[in-house]
Amino acid sequence: MTTAVHPVDERLPAPRLAALGLQHVLVMYAGAVAVPLIVGRALKLSPDQVVQLISADLFCCGLVTLIQSLGFGRFFGIKLPVMMGVTFASVGPMVAMAGAVPGVDGARAIFGAIIGAGIVAMLIAPLVSRMLRFFPPVVTGTIIAVIGISLMRVGIGWAMGGPPNLAQNVDVAKLVTMVDGAKATAAPSRATGKRRSRRPSAASSRKAALL
């Protein structure tokens, strides 16, 4: 008598595993490259430095994938066939730090903050695991949707051929100047329209005279 294997523990044929693995890698690769491109441009790094940032990003993704899939001791790794990528949730804070301190010094500050956040995350992981019941799929799904919507302006800016910083920052002074110019242009036309509405027509003048 053969025991049924749970779908989670089922081993698929090699061709299907290869196709699904390639699909997983391609999905991960787009996000893993987009994040260092955005952060590198925000830091105003040279093209060579951006390439190094992308290479380091992909190397870390592969390293963490091995740790998660194979496991590293008792406390590290979920031991599931998952591909680890880069989260877009930290793009906003990293771009803000890059705007305050651009260049290599800004990159060092970002890396230091990431290392510190990783240590804090490992320390509070046991507590967070006990709070998972307070984060149903509707909460996590909403957060992921908000992250994607907030990054739409970056993708639209790139699709239109504009530099990434125009999609991430708003030139408030230029925007105010454009609004003031539009108001100044529309003011004479509104004043002319009001004068014309107040001026009586010839037909109304004749009617008033007959009365």
Q: What is the pLDDT of residue 120?
A: 92
- 107 and 22 belong to one structural domain: yes
Q: What is the pLDDT of residue 121?
A: 87
> Cα separation of 24 and 136, whole Å?
25
Q: For 12-23, what is each residue's pLDDT tens digit?
A: 888 888 888 888
Same domain, residue pair 31 and 118: yes
> 50 in a domain, yes or no?
yes
Q: Which domain holds residue 62?
A: 14-125
**Contact yes or no for 45/105 (Cβ under 8 A):** no
In a domain, 197, yes or no: yes
Q: Give the number of domains in the chain.
A: 2
Q: Are 28 and 119 members of one domain?
A: yes
**184 lies in some domain:** yes
Residue 35: what are its φ and ψ, rounded to 5°? -65, -50
Query: Is position 157 within any domain?
Result: no
Determine, yes or no, domain membership for 55.
yes
In terms of Cα–Cα distance, which of 12, 29, 31 is closest to 148?
Answer: 31
The whole-number pLDDT of residue 167 equals 47
Residues 27 and 96 in one domain: yes
94 and 188 co-located in one domain: no
Q: For residue 149, is it within any domain?
A: no
Number of neighbouring beta carbons within 10 Å of residue 79: 12
Residues of the chain falling short of pLDDT 70: 1-3, 154-155, 157-176, 178-179, 187-211
